[in-house]
Amino acid sequence: MGAGPDHGGIQMKQRLLASLFGLAGVLAAGSALAAEDDKVGLDLGLRLGYALPMGSLQKDVTMSDYITGQVPIWVDAGYRFTPNIMAGLYFQYGFAFVNSDKCPSPASCSAHDMRLGIQGQYKVSPGESVDPWFGLGVGLEWLGTSTDVSGQSMSSTGNGLEFLNLQGGADFNVTDGLDVGPFLSFSLGQFNSYSYDCSSALKASGLCGPGGDIKDKALHEWLTIGVRGVYGL
C-alpha cells in the first residue's frame, strides 16, 4: 500500500519558506534604511573667512609687524567612513595684507599664505538640521611676500610645519547632501627656512640673499573665522 501525503511536513516547509521570505523582506528593508541613514562617501568642502596673525615669524619679529591679516580660500576633500567620522586633506590659499609700514611708497607689496595637510573631523549629530562638528589637522605652510619697485622685484618665502590645526563649527542642512554654516579654526606653526627670488639687477647688486635655515625659530598662530559649505557625494 502506498504512503499518503505528509501534510504535516508540507505545512512545515510552507511555514519555513514564509518565514524565510519574511526575514529577507525585513533585512532588505533594514538595509535600505541603513543605506539612507548611514551617509558615507566623499565629502567636498569650501570655506571663506578672515584670519588674524599671532605669534612671531622668528625670534623678535612678530607676525603682525609684517602681515596684518589674510582672506583664506580653504578647500576640504575627504571620505566619510561613518556618518560621524571623516578623514582627508585640506588646502588653503590666503590673500594676505602687508603692513603699510613695511611697504613705503612707491613700492608695491603683496603676500600670500598657503597651507596643506591631513585632517580628521567628527560630526556630533549627522542627519539633523543642525550638526556641530570638530576637527584636527597637521600639515605644511608657506608664507610668501613680494615687493616691486621701479620694475625691480624681490620675493621671499618662509616654509615650515603646521603642528596643530584645531577646527570647530556647526553645519545647517540646506538641502539633501549640502550643509552650510560658520566655523572657527586655530592653527599653530613654525617657519624653519626661507628662500629669495629676485630680479637680475638685485641679484647683481648683492641685495638678494640665498636664503637658508631660520636660526632663531619661533611659534606663530592663525585665528580664522568664516563660513563653509560641505557637499556629500
Per residue of the chain (233 residues), give pLDDT as tens: 444 445 555 565 556 556 545 545 544 444 444 444 457 899 999 999 999 999 999 999 999 999 999 999 999 999 999 999 999 999 999 999 999 888 878 889 999 999 999 999 999 999 899 999 999 999 999 999 998 887 788 888 999 999 999 999 999 999 988 999 999 999 999 999 999 888 777 776 766 777 899 999 999 999 999 999 999 98
Q: Answer whether 119's CB lies under 8 Å from 135's CB.
A: yes
pTM of the model: 0.80
Q: Are 113 and 92 in contact (CB under 8 A)?
A: yes
Q: Please, how many CA atoms are within 13 Å of residue 155, restricted to the half-sphere of its CB?
A: 11
Q: What angle do CA 74, 77, 78 make, to 5 degrees?
A: 140
Question: From start to end of 59-151, where are the E strands?
Answer: 61-62, 67-80, 85-98, 108-123, 130-149
Quickly count: other Cβ atoms within 10 Å of residue 201's Cβ: 13
Domains of the chain, residue spans: 1-37, 40-232
Fold that domain 40-232 belongs to in CATH: Porin (2.40.160)
